[in-house]
Chains A and B, each alone.
Chain A
Amino acid sequence: MDLTSASINFSIIYPEISLLIAAALILVSVFHKSANRIAPYIALIGIVVSIAMIFKQWGHQESGFFGMITCDSFGVTFKLIFDVTALLSLLIAHRYMISKGINRPEFYALLLISTMGMMVMANTTDLIVIFLGLEIMSVPLYVMAGFAKRSLWSSEAGIKYFIMGAFASSFLLMGIAFIYGASSTTDLRRIVADFHFIMSNSPAYMLTGMALILVGFGFKIGAVPFHSWVPDVYEGAPTPVTAFFSVGPKAAGIAALLRIFIFGFANVMMLSTVFWVLAVLTMSVGNILALKQNNIKRLLAYSSIAHAGYILVALTVGGNDAISAAIFYLVAYIMFNLGAFAVVTLMETRSGCKSDFSELVGLAKVHPYLAAVLTLFMFALAGFPPTAGFFGKFYIFSAAIKSGYIWLAVIGMLNSFLSVYYYLRVVKTSYFDSSDKSFIPVKYSLSIIIVLVITVIGTLGIGLFPQQFLNWSQSALFAFL
């Protein structure tokens, strides 16, 4: 691989460019009176074109912009993951935004720009570009969290997320500075090439730098103890935004962690201990806190922390099996988590609903299909076969056991066992509980139905044909570094 590819090579960022053009068009259209109506369609077209571009890049390994941007199977896989996430979130959001009176075109532009930032993050080997991507992703997220500006909750979520995010970013940037100080480069490939030399010269700088970078991404994926913002922001933000938060930035953070710590600084013993502790803390705290929640959004927030913990197990283990298991899990998680959020969003489009458990009572009687779908997602989140959730956990834990991390796997399984309680509580409430209040029927919209169909097919399909899907995740293993 030529480190100083002198060419610019625009073709490797076509997917990003598609999103950007769509976002720009939306922002320009703001001044037109029907912008509200056309913005989602522009965004949709942008994403679809972007996906098409991704398929054109499939299997290519290139680099451009003087080595600052890369295009490898790993990155392209993640680009697809981000685009699918954006697409599903968009479809979930549309009706909700209208029903809450906040359907403004800027929202869709922000969504696209944020997605583009994730793509940048996952497709570079340069630490500064990773940071750049992170900020492109994060700034729109802050705005999106506070998008329902008349809602106190939403504004609070936006401000909190912004303060904590800025806080975390500063650590990340500091970490990059330390690494730069030790190695006088920000290009991971160069650092890794001279790793032993740099480590023996200035170990303290390197290790501090790594620790700070880890913290920065740990914040984005909601790892304990950098997770405190998650419940507040998830609960306050508009529900479709929460849906997007729970998967998009997480996937991006995982991508960056994988590239830096698994493909890059592999074999640093202390790192694996830190990952081990983070994984255990993240799984346990997420699950334990979820036990007592009475609000589904908050429950899903904590559950998303716990799921980040399972993926951290894979990162602790390292090695090809674990990484492909992590990617497998991530995609599976996107499917059933977004599915669950789609149901919650649908419930919230009824007026006066805030996703408390009590609002679920009677769901099964009024909407048997919706209740069945929700049950499927809860089973998947809890990790029951034959859903995608089971095989996701199965591959991660079996990789852990194969590499000798028996205790980690045991703790993971116990956690997963614990989680069954609160997931099934959702099912129990919607099927068996009764109350004197009658259930207000929900109104389906085409976009939500599309999301539910896609996520149900994804959840069951991955669970029924896990091997095909694992093969696909393994094909993503090729990465520069």
Chain B
Amino acid sequence: MSEYLFLVPLFPLIGFLINGLLLGRLPRSMIAFIACVSVGLSFILSLFLFFGLKAMPPEIRIVEQVLFNWIIAGSFHANIGFMLDPLSAVMIMVVSGVGFLIHIYSIGYMRGDTGYGRYFAYLNLFMFSMLILVLADNFLFMFVGWEGVGLCSYLLIGFWFEKKSASDAGKKAFITNRVGDFGFLLGMFIIFWQVGSLNFTEVMASAPQVFVSGGVLITVTCLLLFFGATGKSAQIPLYVWLPDAMEGPTPVSALIHAATMVTAGVYMIVRTNVLFIMAPDALMVVAIIGVVTAFYAATIGLAQNDIKRVLAYSTISQLGYMFLACGVAAFSAGIFHLMTHAFFKALLFMCAGSVIHAMSGQQDMRYMGGLKKYLPITFLSMLMATFAISGIPGFSGFFSKDEILWKSFSSPFGNYILWAVGFITAGLTAFYMFRLIYLTFYGKERMDEKTKAHIHESPKSMTVPLIILAILSVIGGWVGLPHLFGFTNNFEHWLEPVMRKTNQIIAARRINEAVGETGIEWGLMIATVALVLISIYFAYLIYNKRTELATSLREKFSSVHKLLLNKYYIDEFYGAIVIRPLIYFSLFLWKVIDVAVIDGFINGMASSYDDVSGTLRTMQTGRVRTYATIFLAGVVIIIAYMVFY
């Protein structure tokens, strides 16, 4: 089985090479065919690999394929190698599966665009990088994928680079991510320095001996890795790029900025769970950052008017949940939510895309309304996704979110404060999602006549992926039904081999199994569901039944509303605190250090080289006798040195 692993990323690479090198000279149907089939093949192969892995006994469910030694320099060596274990098996299925659907969806969505070939080439390149990221068997190779997805994200956010806001957003994403990458790199250096290897299996095996559990070094390492994750996964303090990333085409937002790339940070932490479990302080930081981000982004989502921005903040918020899960050492719950989130968030974005498509590019919800009857399929799909993200019992998001909330309460690394913030966020989530639904699909039709005449349901290539994802959003959570309902949690069980060491440590820390636990668990769950239902009711009240309430509330709490609408002025804050001083400092470096000192030195060097070059050139007379003389001088000096020295 291992010999086929490399094919998973290879197919999209081939697609990228064909579409990328031919620069869109193929007919459009051919471009789309190549792009979709390459990803589809990866998906089919991923399924086979998954079932192959499942057929093996749980203890040995790890398959590695080393293609070759990539770099060997002294004691350092890195392989081009792939590793399939239960964790990466889940990831490749999610990535290639959701990716495949979004490729199909893009056929319709990008139909009129001039950059059709370029778009699909980038998209394939992204799939290649992302699959490398999740399949790599060592940190360095993973970093290649990590940077690759960053690059593709940059290229695709700025896909319509003629628009200044788009190219700016691309740059913002790239630069912010570089800040995080710096942390990731430093963490990697410490690991190599201490362990002497970057191979996951080797690092995880020897980490407990090399690092002191709870020591400074491991804590710093984990914090640095986490800092890298906050960049890629848009957490405080590096989340600022994700809302702007909505400048890219909507399928890109669905694929990269909702379902796959932004979850890379979560994946990385789960992949290195052995390290994190040894650093409880770092875990605490992860949990706090996660839950604060979840809450904070949700509040911003309450007041946004752009349909994609609401979803962007919602993504940040949901990613916060995943980090909360990681922070309380409920790694499999984090991955579970990652998976269900991939389904429903990709779906939400694709539905939003379908709406925007129908509205001739309009993204502001204040000019929508009443779309339910025009876009029945989009509406139903979006409703399913909204039920899922809000945590309506039975839908996928309910199971994963409930698991995270319960773990944040019950885990030895969790506590009731984390739970309480997560709990309130669940209410906010339901509220802003239903606000979106009511503003978009219900109420008065607020668009102008010209737009209205154009409203139409999207073509099949777009609606079919919506339907498939809608089904997944409903049933996707059933793979991880909780113990509480009398099931064994299959998903947790599946990931167990990856978490073995972690589970041992957690079991050791859990001093006494609380007696009334099931009672508490039921209680918390019912409380959450109640809160969600109340929030939905309020959303219904404010944005559908008595719309004048919205206006009066906005006026009553105008300062709060303004604060939220302007995203807590965090961009302005960063501008003042980080960017402006940085610009001044750069100006200083440029005007003083660079122009005067360095350029002076370099120009001095250059002109002296110029002189030397000129002098040497005079020796290049073109006359053979000069050449022979120089030659002879050389001979004499060498012989003199060798014989008489």
Tell me whether A215 and B635 are in contact in the complex, defined as CB-CB below 8 angstroms, given that A228-B626, A228-B630 are known contacts: yes
Do residues B613 and A291 form an inter-chain contact, with CB atoms below 8 A? yes
Query: Nearest chain B CB to A151's CB is how many angstroms away?
Result: 16
Q: Residues 436-471 of chain A: 1 if any B CB is under 8 Å from the residue's CB, otherwise 0?
A: 000000000000000000000000000001111010
Binary A-proximity of B594-625 (CB < 8 A = 1, otherwise 0) = 00000000000000011011101101101010
Q: Nearest Cβ distance between residue B620 and chain A, in whole angstroms?
A: 6
Which chain B residues border A163 with CB–CB below 8 Å?
624, 628
Which A residues from 213 to 252 make CB contacts under 8 A with B? 214-215, 218-219, 225-226, 228-229, 231-232
Q: Taking the complex as formed, is B515 at the interface, i.e. its CB lies under 8 A from any CB of chain A?
A: no
Contact A468:B643 (CB < 8 A) given known A288-B616, A291-B613:
no
- Are A215 and B638 CB-contacts (below 8 A) given A288-B609, A291-B610? yes
In whole Å, how far is A393's beta carbon from the nearest beta carbon of chain B?
13
Q: Are B634 and A225 in contact (CB under 8 A)?
A: yes
Q: How far is the CA of A273 from the CA of B613 in the complex (A)?
A: 25
A215 to B635 alpha-carbon distance, docked (Å)? 7
Please choose the segment from B70-78, B278-286, B372-380, B562-570 that sits at the chain A interface, where 4 or more of its residues have CB less than 8 A away: B70-78
The answer for the CA separation of A363 and B141 in the assembled complex, in Å, is 36
Interface of A is mostly: helix
B114 contacts chain A at the CB level, 8 A cutoff: no
Out of A167, A288, A467, name the residue touching B631 (CB < 8 Å): A167
- In the assembly, what is the distance between CA of A274 and CA of B642, in Å? 8
A8 on the B face (CB < 8 A): no
Does A285 belong to the interface (CB within 8 Å)? yes
Contact call A465/B68, Cβ cutoff below 8 A: yes
Max chain B Cβ within 10 angstroms of own Cβ: one of A207, A285, A398, A470: A207
Closest to B68 in A: A468
Question: Can you name the residue of chain B whose Cβ is closest to the Cβ of A228?
Answer: B627
Q: Are B71 and A466 closer than 8 Å at their CB atoms?
A: yes
In the bound complex, how far is the Cα of B610 from the Cα of A123, in angstroms?
43
**The one of A208, A228, A232, A273 that contacts B643, using a Cβ cutoff of 8 Å:** A208
Name the contact of B609 in the complex, choosing from A228, A273, A291 (C-beta under 8 A).
Answer: A291
Q: Is the CB of A207 within 8 A of B643?
A: yes
Q: What residues on B are CB-neighbors of A420 within 8 Å? A: none
* A413 close to B (CB within 8 Å): no
B624:A160 contact, CB within 8 angstroms: yes
One digit per residue, 1 when the CB lies within 8 angstroms of any chain B CB and 0 when it does not, for chain A 142-172 equals 0000000000000000001001100110010
**Contact (A164, B628) CB under 8 Å given A207-B643, A225-B633, A274-B642:** yes
Known: A211-B635, A214-B638. Contact between A292 and B617, CB under 8 A? yes
Residues of A within 8 Å of B609, CB to CB, are: 288, 291, 418
A207 near B73: Cβ-Cβ < 8 Å: no
Q: Do A289 and B613 have beta carbons less than 8 Å apart?
A: yes
Contact B620 A467 (CB under 8 A): no
CA distance A470 to B77 in the complex (A): 14
B72 / chain A contacts, CB cutoff of 8 Å: 467, 470
CB nearest neighbor in B for A159: B624
Cβ–Cβ < 8 Å partners of A193 in chain B: none
When the two chains form the complex, which single residue of A273, A394, A467 contacts B641, counting CB atoms closer than 8 Å?
Answer: A273
Taking CB as reference atom, which chain A residue is nearest B639? Answer: A211
**Chain A residues whose CB sits within 8 angstroms of the CB of B619 once the complex forms:** 228
The answer to whether B71 and A467 touch across the interface, beta carbons within 8 angstroms, is: yes
Contact A288 B622 (CB under 8 A): no
Nearest residue, chain B, Cβ from A214: B638
Q: Is A212 an interface residue (CB 8 A)?
A: yes
A402 (CB) vs chain B CBs: closest residue? B74
Residues facing A in B112-145 (CB within 8 A) are none
In the complex, besides A232-B622, A274-B638, 19 extra interface pairs with C-beta distance below 8 angstroms are A164-B631, A167-B628, A204-B643, A207-B639, A212-B639, A225-B633, A225-B634, A228-B620, A228-B627, A285-B616, A288-B613, A291-B610, A291-B613, A292-B614, A394-B73, A398-B73, A466-B71, A467-B68, A467-B70
User: What are the 9 closest A-B residue pairs judged by CB atoms, nearest first?
Assistant: A228-B627, A225-B634, A467-B69, A207-B642, A211-B639, A211-B638, A211-B642, A292-B613, A270-B642
29 contacts between A and B (CB under 8 A): A160-B624, A160-B627, A163-B628, A164-B624, A164-B627, A171-B635, A203-B643, A204-B643, A207-B643, A212-B635, A212-B639, A215-B631, A215-B634, A215-B635, A219-B631, A225-B633, A226-B631, A228-B620, A228-B630, A229-B627, A270-B641, A270-B645, A273-B641, A274-B638, A274-B641, A289-B620, A465-B68, A465-B70, A470-B72
